[in-house]
Structure 1
């Protein structure tokens, strides 16, 4: 079953209150989850309680009936407090939308009410050793069983996988003739799998995302294939790619905007007035440059969101270029904006961990953004797309 993009609707009236509860919970545990590289379990609990895990679940299945615009708003808000949490939430929403749009009626009926009730947090399993996060190929193959399918899958990075209730996995379709590009998306519930974690998660930033390696083996019913068998390329083009770039960029913008907001409050507060010369041309110029970068990202995010909302064919070169430009630009400019602020404030409030600005944390977290589906890979794809758009049209 396939549903088209949903028309924009008003933001749920209580979305702000729900987000405030989750952000306040995350704030209380932020220092610990970053220091210990520990998944934000308390904040996930708040996402469950508030119904935000069901933001994109239609109201007829008990969800909030939100839109992609609502997801962008929520991801940006959560990113202001905790970039790891924002990314966890955005990726869950990406998985939810794939089920809403492409799962058959039986699977939708089984899963969507449980997601809406906060019972199912979804993790994405797309990485494989040797191919990284490349979406449109798969090495591990589904096994054909009587009445079901066998999963034997290793993924070197699964964000929040140790805490997930369900998984969406990319797998090569079953059959001896299936190629690496005949990729199917399948759903597996935690109790249908044997899950073996390996390695340790000790990154520079994004420490609370707890993106460990998992070995997943088990058996699923045949109706747990999401979309057409071997047809994941369509889901990637219409849901996975667009929602990843929109959601990630919103989180990165929120993280950088939260950092700038904390800097401005410090500068305008009593402690800042005694320490910083707010008339300094150098300081003012650096603040202006940081704000300019964020305004540019915000403008591109909103324009790309309108393109996705329009229901236009997202496979067209100009629209693919716009989506990729959003991801590349947001990942580079949000990082640069925070780096500008580190330079502007200096050692005490720019570089040290105990500053209320949290610039050190924002810089470490945002350093992952250009690596999260590598910008180098996207530039290569954009070069090929540019060759197909000789008229240099715009989305």
Structure 2
């Protein structure tokens, strides 16, 4: 006889596990299992993956990047990427939310030292498992995150901000928001700062919904964001440096890992489908079977590209000059373009391998959700925008003189 375990008892069991499991990979696996259980409903209902994010908080996943000196685990970029990949295999929305959160936390921990408010925020993220949302697009600037319209006005040691945020990732569900703004009312749009605000000092008024093809559970609606607070909530480091040294590398590496995880989830389903068909037909493979080989190849290319770029970043992550250099900025931008395209290519190959079973929205071999979700990858930030911004830098960069780096 099946025994139904109440939600309260299940939560208590998970809390007990969370307290006894030190290994980050094991904790992530528990959260991924919960995310997978609810993934289809999250997509169908376009709702926030509350069960998975609550589990992520209980298992302490949201504070792993906080340095040990502030009570965190001091996790590496590789740790964050492995987490995003594992969650991507289970639930696209959960993976992208956690990826976005890690990007924001990385900016705080890498540029907030020496600021008492920021250091206290690091401890809060670790102790309270605060989920940090992202607001880097506004008004009509689309994905041009290097320009801001709204300014952070500072008077007598306090700031005010009134921002028309066209997208705030999971804005209604997060515990705090990391947002860009112009440095002052008379500053150029590209002269930006980064602010960290928490629910006690901002308000959100919805301006547009989130009815999208995929990534429906990220609930990235538009809001009018109004905030005020002490000026210490504005990072002293200019945003252009935060952007190149932290925002871009963590975003492209964590996003890329989430997208590649989605692709891996689709490959899992394609493999199960082909094995089932082969068993039931005496070893005869279906017409689309050759596409499974293409899927595995493109998936492995994406994994290798991410691993190589992450290793590159890890070697220079404390070298501001190297991070801002043409070689690394070109490498990280190219990786984003290629990883996002490879993720789409992989899932599309799985769709063709599975045929109608993959095309259907129901059934254990469907990859329809995976395809709809991963189609967001080349648009976030648009690959063409990235390629255009890279054109001059690529011309200035030297051509490799030898085969190996």
Deviation for aligned residue 1:18: 1.0
Give TM-score, length-normalised by structure 1: 0.91
1:81-160 matches, within 5 Å, as 81-103=90-112, 104-160=114-170
3-state secondary structure, aligned to 1:75: helix
* Alignment CA distance shift 1:221-1:358 (3 Å): farther
Q: Specify which of 357, 362, 365 is matched with residue 354 of structure 1.
A: 362
Name the structure 2 match of 1:363: 371
Query: Over aligned residues, Cα RMSD in angstroms?
Result: 1.8
Aligned residue pairs total 378
Q: Distance in 1 between matches of 2:85 and 2:245?
A: 21
Q: Deviations over 1:138-160 (max 9, x none)?
A: 11111122220001011111111
Runs (5+) with no aligned partner, structure 2 = 1-20
Name the structure 1 match of 2:171: 161
- Runs (4+) of structure 1 moved beyond 6 Å? none
For the pair 1:253 / 2:260, whether they are aligned, the reply is yes
Name the structure 1 match of 2:313: 308
CA contact (8 A) 1:119 1:165 kept: no
3-state secondary structure, aligned to 1:267: helix
* Alignment CA distance shift 1:343-1:189 (3 Å): same
* Alignment CA distance shift 1:276-1:254 (3 Å): farther
Q: Deviations over 1:107-154 (max 9, x none)?
A: 233211221124411011100122112222111111122220001011
CA contact (8 A) 2:274 2:354 kept: no
For the pair 1:294 / 2:299, whether they are aligned, the reply is yes
* Alignment CA distance shift 1:278-1:301 (3 Å): farther
CA contact (8 A) 1:155 1:213 kept: yes
Q: Specify which of 175, 185, 193 is matched with residue 194 of structure 2.
A: 185
CA contact (8 A) 1:122 1:168 kept: yes
Runs (5+) with no aligned partner, structure 1 = 1-11
CA contact (8 A) 1:48 1:117 kept: no
Q: Deviations over 1:235-267 (max 9, x none)?
A: 000100001110011011111011101221232
Q: Distance in 2 between matches of 1:276 and 1:357?
A: 20
Give TM-score, length-normalised by structure 2: 0.89
Name the structure 2 match of 1:386: 394
Q: Distance in 1 between matches of 2:378 and 2:192?
A: 26
Name the structure 2 match of 1:205: 214
Name the structure 2 match of 1:236: 243
* Alignment CA distance shift 1:278-1:108 (3 Å): farther
Name the structure 1 match of 2:330: 321
* Alignment CA distance shift 1:70-1:171 (3 Å): same
Name the structure 2 match of 1:216: 225
